[in-house]
Amino acid sequence: MTIDPYNLSLADQPGLILVTQQLSEDNYHSWSRAIRKALNAKRKLGFITGSVPQPDPTTEPEKLENWQCVNDVVSTWILNSLATSLVYTNSAAKLWNDLKDRFQHGNGPHVFELKRDLMNLCQGTMTISQYFTKIKVLWEELNSYRPVQCNCGDARAMQEFLQAKYVHYFLMGLDESYSQIRGQILLMEPLPAINKFYLW
């Protein structure tokens, strides 16, 4: 069943706040990811990616009116999560690209900090559950900075490599009282997914 991208429910009001975090100089990447997920959940992601383009006014005037209505709603949703506004843009896609150009800076320093935090993270006084949650948050944020993987044959090997790296980070920071279990896990070939051995 094809979903009509121009469909708006009663809940899709212009005043809706899609994400609670406001865009700032320091959080563009996580903010844009949250907005994209929220728009995708509402089947409106195409208005910022350009996959729902503006119809031709000469051949589709009625469709253009519907597009403009939904485009304005999507633009307003984005503006609702900004501390400052860019109200003079005429399309959600242009607004999105303007924000990307303005706020997306090099991620190198932040990626470096995340990797350093992962390498230095130790269980210490945390429970296994707390430690697992902390490392999972860091790992997922770091993962969000990686480029989208292609569907080629190497994608699976890369995913397995990254999962093994994740497991290693987790095992390195475990308290020494888990050294026997850690040793048993490291002898496994291939290494199990972190979610499986976490339950041991």
- Report the range of poorest mean pLDDT among 8-22, 137-151, 152-166: 137-151
- Please provide the DSSP assignment of 141-163 as one string: HHHHTSPPPPSSTHHHHHHHHHH
Q: How many whole angstroms separate alpha carbon 48 and alpha carbon 93?
A: 4
pLDDT of residue 41: 92
- Whole-number pLDDT of residue 197: 61
Predicted model pTM:
0.59
Cβ-contact 45, 39 below 8 angstroms: yes
CA dist., res. 88 & res. 45, Å (int): 21
Determine the pLDDT at residue 85: 59
For residue 42, what pLDDT is reported? 93
Specify the 3-state DSSP secondary structure of 1: coil
Neighbours of 58 (CB within 10 A): 7
Peptide bond into 190 cis (omega under 30): yes
